[in-house]
Amino acid sequence: MRKSKENNQNSLGKFEEIVLLAILRLHQNAYGVSIRREIETETGRTTSVGAVYTTLERLEKKGYISSRQGEATAERGGRAKRYFEIEGAGAEALNQTMIARKRLLTRVKTKRLPARA
């Protein structure tokens, strides 16, 4: 079965899914560094700030998230934080990904999963 181009563009990659979940968890405090910290804390995965910002930009282009500039702060040398929030399309894409994953997992017998070395 071939994927349609539209369906493929609207699908989430694994890291995109993780970034969206981190934004949901952080609520009003979702900015680049806090998102990276949340991902590293919850997944144990080392993540570069560049990878996070590249993914945030891609998600924003897809219309899954939006961003706004916060106030400039002295602790950041007068620079403002850029805060992110999930839009309806992003929530829908995340829900569809989670439904598909749950459907697949219910059909997998855990005793057949290969052990990790």
pLDDT per position as a tens digit, 29-47? 999 999 999 999 999 999 9
Residue 61: which CATH number?
1.10.10.10
4 domain residue, yes or no? no
CA–CA separation, 35 and 19 (whole Å): 7
5 domain residue, yes or no? no
3 domain residue, yes or no? no
96 domain residue, yes or no? yes
Is there a contact between 32 and 52 (Cβ–Cβ < 8 Å)? yes
66 domain residue, yes or no? yes
The residue among 34, 21, 36 whose CA lies nearest residue 86 is: 21
Residue 6's pLDDT is 47
Taking 70 as the threshold, does the pLDDT of residue 7 lie above it?
no
What range defines the domain where residue 65 resides? 12-108
Domain count, the chain: 1
CA–CA separation, 57 and 107 (whole Å): 34
